[in-house]
Structure 1
Amino acid sequence: MKKSIMLWGVLAMALLAGCQWHDPASTKTLSDAGDVCGAAHYQHQIGKPLNSVAQLSIPKQVPVRILPWNSAATMDFFPNRLNFAGDKADNINRVFCG
């Protein structure tokens, strides 16, 4: 009796797994998001002091996050947020969206 119940359970899971629908167009990765925040316009800032971000003319509607080296950061992803990451010397080493 137990074997037949287990067999039916495995069979039901196998049948349900075959019913899944996958839309390749809806599967996006972080790199597919593109340059929504305009990070390409600020790549020339790499190597400059992290505190120089305050003097940049960034549109007010673009949220900005400054990430000093080894700082804690949330893992939420906002494609329109502009991030400036710093190194140990407090220089910008990466500009990206997210």
Structure 2
Amino acid sequence: MTLIRFAFPLLALAALPACVVPIPVPPGTPFAFEVVLDEGDSCGARSLQDYVGQDADVVRGTTFQSPVPVRVVGPGATSADGVNPQRVTFVTDAADKVVTVGCG
């Protein structure tokens, strides 16, 4: 009986990541963009290519309705949290312009 008492909460915690739901952005919200995941695009970067060439402040000022994390990194930046194929990464150049949008 004690084993079952401890196993149930652990099973509930294991299922928690599958229940993560993005906070909906009300229609008409300025600077809002919904990230769409499709087959072969693990983070939704394919739908964000229009940001290439824009100021990084445009990205920082956009609310992303996204089931995956989104980050902006500078040129040559390294991340302590490593590569995540389910995270959108906007890479900027020295002029703070977006040069690539990809997963990682």
TM-score, scaled to structure 1: 0.57
Among 73, 78, 88, the alignment partner of 1:82 is 88
Q: How does 1:47-58 map to 2 (within 5 A)?
A: 47-58=53-64
Among 61, 71, 74, the alignment partner of 2:77 is 71
Q: Percent identity?
A: 32
Whole-Å separation in 2 of the counterparts to 1:64 and 1:37: 9
**When you count strand as a share of all residues, which structure comes out higher?**
2
Whole-Å separation in 2 of the counterparts to 1:43 and 1:74: 25
4+ residue stretches of structure 1 with deviation over 3 A?
Answer: none
**When you count helix as a share of all residues, which structure comes out higher?**
1
Unaligned runs of 5+ in 2: 1-39
Q: How does 1:1-98 map to 2 (within 5 A)?
A: 34-74=40-80, 76-98=82-104
How large is the Cα RMSD of the aligned pairs?
2.1
TM-score, scaled to structure 2: 0.54
